[in-house]
Every structure is written in C-alpha cells, then in structure tokens.
Amino acid sequence: MLYHRALGRDLHKLVIAVVDNRRPMLLVMRAMLAAIGAGRIHTYESPTGAIGTMATATPDLVIAADVMQPLNGPALVRTMRRPSSGPLALVPVIIITTHAKPALAAEALKSGAHQVLTSRLRQSRSPADSTRSSTTIAPSSLRATIMSFLA
C-alpha cells in the first residue's frame, strides 16, 4: 500500500511548498504556516518552476492556488500525479480558492488534490485605496487540514 509523504511526520519537520502567482498571498501563507509551527516553507511564484524544483527536492505537502498561469491548480496537480513524476506523485496537495463553487472543488479533487480550502475575500476600506482586497484563510482551518494528513 502506498502512503503519502506527510503521513506520520511532525508538523515542525514538514517541508511545505506554496505555489501562487501572487506574491502577497505567498507572504501571507508563509506567515500563517510559520505561525502554526510548520517546518521548512518554500514559495514559488511560477507553477512550472515549482514542478521543476519539486521534482528534485520533493516537499511533504503542496499548497497551491486554484487560479495561476500558465498552469492552474488542478493542472499543477495533474502534472504532479503523472507516473513520470516519481515521488512527487505521492505528495498531498491542498488547493486554495476564493470561489466556493462545487464544480471547481470537483475539478480539483478529480485532478488528485486531497483538499480544497476556500478563503474569504475581504474588502479593505483604507482611505488610500477603497478597492483593495486581501485574501485570508483562518489559521485554525489551515492547521486542522494539515494535521489531518499527519495522522
């Protein structure tokens, strides 16, 4: 029986890769993962670059955005799940989305993702820019999801 790479690992020893085209989201995810006690955190702005690097330095867990270019989250997962991907095929993947649509979740899960987390989109009403928005995910939800892979 095959097991995924994160099974039985301690949270503080995990190697987690975060893939997202948006630098602010990478910074937020890095901060949240560090706050919940995650081990090494690698961030990638390019999904294709991430695949290349992760093929040689396989992480224990991947957290990826659903919308990216040139590969979206489900396409990234399909690439990881190819038999030619070696140990990368056994890495659990969490897809982060701001759109809680059943079709999107179904596509992500069908592609081989283990979980789909929906982040909340909040509007910032700062005087400088009333149209700015930021994406937030509850750290407790992220921690609970990651911990479910370790048991």
Q: Which residue has the higher pLDDT, 32 or 125?
A: 32
Q: Which residue has the higher pLDDT, 98 or 46?
A: 46
Q: Is the pLDDT of residue 124 over 50?
A: no
Q: Which helix (H) or strand (E) holds 97?
A: strand 93-97
Letter for the amino acid at 148?
S
Strands 120-123 and 133-136: antiparallel
pLDDT number for residue 125: 47
pLDDT number for residue 118: 83
Residue in the structure block whose two tokens are 């969490």 = 94
Cα 15 → chain centroid:
12
pLDDT number for residue 63: 95
Q: Which residue has the higher pLDDT, 75 or 103?
A: 75
pLDDT number for residue 151: 62
Burial of 93 (0-12, 13-18, 19+ CB in 10 A): buried
C-alpha neighbours within 13 Å on the C-beta side of residue 117: 23
Q: Where are the alpha helices (DSSP H) in 21-138?
A: 23-35, 47-56, 73-80, 102-111
The model's pTM: 0.83
Letter for the amino acid at 51?
I
Strands 120-123 and 40-44: unpaired
Q: Is the pLDDT of residue 103 over 90?
A: no
